């Protein structure tokens, strides 16, 4: 499973619209600047979201894009499906390990595991709404039954060694005492 950049940007764009007052349109350029995303990429994402009827375009001087439905009626799965397709794809029909090793008509003990995982991922993404993600991180963590982080993602742990020197030291063999 991998969330693509396109899906992540799609979620950021949709969340940006969800944070706006209902019915207020915003240009793709403004969203790109606010979210620090490439402008052309944002325009492509908004076209995909519009095709999926998750956003609508508004013409005119104050035009742009706005959510087509309330934020509590749009799931993360809706946005990801619109921007990248399936989040977790069971590739049994594609034979990712080769036809000679994996044939879809053979009995495969992995297939039910992959399908169960796909169903759980899809189920979780379908339960979480854009409106849910407008809450504080701890609230969202409780919603998805995960412990909130104890420190910001970009702050090293207090007991973490600092920099490359510590990293190199960790992988440098101890000198041979016999020498």
Please provide the average confidence, as pLDDT, over all residues in the chain: 80
Q: Using the predicted structure, report yes or no on whether residue 60 has a pLDDT greater than 60.
A: yes
Structural domain includes residue 112: yes
Q: Using the predicted structure, report yes or no on whether residue 76 has a pLDDT greater than 70.
A: yes
Q: Of 82, 81, 76, 58, which Cα lies nearest the Cα of 134?
A: 76
Q: Using the predicted structure, report yes or no on whether residue 94 has a pLDDT greater than 60.
A: no
What CATH number does residue 55 fall under? 1.10.10.10
Residues 6+ apart with CB under 8 A from 54: 14, 67, 68, 69, 74, 78, 79, 82
Interval 165-174 mean pLDDT: 54
pTM of the complete model: 0.72
Which tokens sit at 12?
A: 């950021």
Of the pLDDT bands very low, low, confident and very high (cuts 50, 70, 90), residue 143 is: confident
Higher pLDDT, 97 or 137: 137
Helix or strand holding residue 57 (H, E): strand 55-58
Higher pLDDT, 99 or 22: 22
For residue 12, the model assigns a pLDDT of 94
Structural domain includes residue 168: no
Structural domain includes residue 84: yes
Return the half-sphere exposure (C-beta side, CA atoms, 13 A cut-off) of residue 20. Answer: 22
Residues 6+ apart with CB under 8 A from 29: 39, 42
Structural domain includes residue 155: no
For residue 112, the model assigns a pLDDT of 82
- State what percent of residues in the chain have pLDDT above 90: 41
Interval 12-21 mean pLDDT: 93
Range of 96's domain? 5-143
Interval 147-174 mean pLDDT: 60
Residues 6+ apart with CB under 8 A from 124: 144
Q: What is the CA radius of gyration of the chain?
A: 22
Structural domain includes residue 162: no
- Concatenating the DSSP letter of every residue in 61-107 gives TT-EEEESS-GGG-BHHHHHHHHTS-SS---GGG-TT-TTT--TTS-
Distance CA 65, CA 14 (A): 10
For residue 11, the model assigns a pLDDT of 94
Distance CA 47, CA 55 (A): 9
Q: Using the predicted structure, report yes or no on whether residue 175 has a pLDDT greater than 80.
A: no
Q: How many domains does the chain have?
A: 1
Q: Using the predicted structure, report yes or no on whether residue 99 has a pLDDT greater than 60.
A: no
Structural domain includes residue 173: no
Environment class of residue 76 by beta-carbon count within 10 Å: exposed (0-12), middle (13-18) or buried (19+)? Answer: buried
Which tokens sit at 100?
A: 């000679």
């Amino acid at each position: 499973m991998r969330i693509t950049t396109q899906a992540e940007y799609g979620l950021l764009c949709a969340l940006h619209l969800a944070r706006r007052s209902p019915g207020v349109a915003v240009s793709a350029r403004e969203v790109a600047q606010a979210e620090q995303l490439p402008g052309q990429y944002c325009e492509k994402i908004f076209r995909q979201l519009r095709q999926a009827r998750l956003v609508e375009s508004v013409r005119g001087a104050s035009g742009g894009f706005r959510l087509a439905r309330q934020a509590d009626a749009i799931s993360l799965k809706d946005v990801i499906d619109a921007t990248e397709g399936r989040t977790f794809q069971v590739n049994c029909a594609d034979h990712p390990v080769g036809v000679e090793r994996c044939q879809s008509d053979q009995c495969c003990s992995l297939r039910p595991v992959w399908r169960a995982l796909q169903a759980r991922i899809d189920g979780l993404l379908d339960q979480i709404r854009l409106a849910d993600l407008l809450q504080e991180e701890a609230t969202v963590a409780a919603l998805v039954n995960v412990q909130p982080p104890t420190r910001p993602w970009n702050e090293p742990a207090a007991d973490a060694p600092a920099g490359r020197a510590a990293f190199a030291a960790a992988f440098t063999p101890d000198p041979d005492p016999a020498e």
